[in-house]
Amino acid sequence: MSKVLVLTATISSEENSYSLELKNRFLKYYKEAHPNDEIEEIDLNTFPIAQQTLNVDNQKDYWGKDAMGAINQLRNTDKLIVVSPMHNFNIPAMLKNYLDHILLANETFSYKYSVKGEAKGLLPNLKVQILTTQGAPYGWYLWGNHTEYLRGTFDFVGAKVTTPILVSGTKSAPFNKMKPQEVIDEFDPEIKLAATEF
């Protein structure tokens, strides 16, 4: 049995969210393939550390017990599923706030005993699946590639990152005339395979 943590970062409502539909479809197939796994879902809209932005006034207390609680949660998790749409060419601020809390030297990565200045990731227990969406077709905003940013971040902390699933072009034809469920239907075989193998 694996412990699975799902982090969701979207401001869209359930009926209008491509990323939530992607998450729901992935979890449906995941649960079918791994019925005994323990799954915990966190909506970052309601997660306290995801609401705290690092600034000059709070940096001394930013990595307190709440941040350490989130880091320990990751240490005790086998699989992490990160669900994120693109907001203004990047991940949503609530997910960035979460990452700012958990990306802590000597806790999730370390330069101690590093070779050539390369960091060592301290979360090798974690297997990560990234599920992302964006309104623009792939390639329009590669300078703001939120999917690769997430992949690189979790690779940096030593996690084993599987191939991300990106649903792109949701605001362009033909997807912009389709409901989120219909768009996700177009990616169904890829989602099912990834969920079964994760």
Q: What are phi and psi of 61, to 5 degrees?
A: -110, 0
pLDDT by residue for the chain (198 residues), tens only, comes to 999 999 999 999 999 999 999 999 999 999 999 999 999 999 999 999 999 999 999 999 999 999 999 999 999 999 999 999 999 999 999 999 999 999 999 999 998 877 777 889 999 999 999 999 999 999 888 888 999 999 999 999 999 999 999 999 999 999 999 999 999 999 999 999 999 999
Q: Which CATH class is domain 3-197?
A: alpha beta
The answer to whether the annotation marks 168 as part of a ligand binding site is no
The answer to whether the annotation marks 114 as part of a ligand binding site is no
The answer to whether the annotation marks 19 as part of a ligand binding site is yes
Report the alpha-carbon distance of residue 196 to residue 143 in Å, rounded.
32
As beta bridge partners, residue 167 has 133
Distances 25 to 2, 35, 77, 78, 152 between C-alpha atoms, Å: 19, 15, 21, 20, 25
DSSP class of residue 154 equals H
Report the alpha-carbon distance of residue 43 to residue 110 in Å, rounded.
28
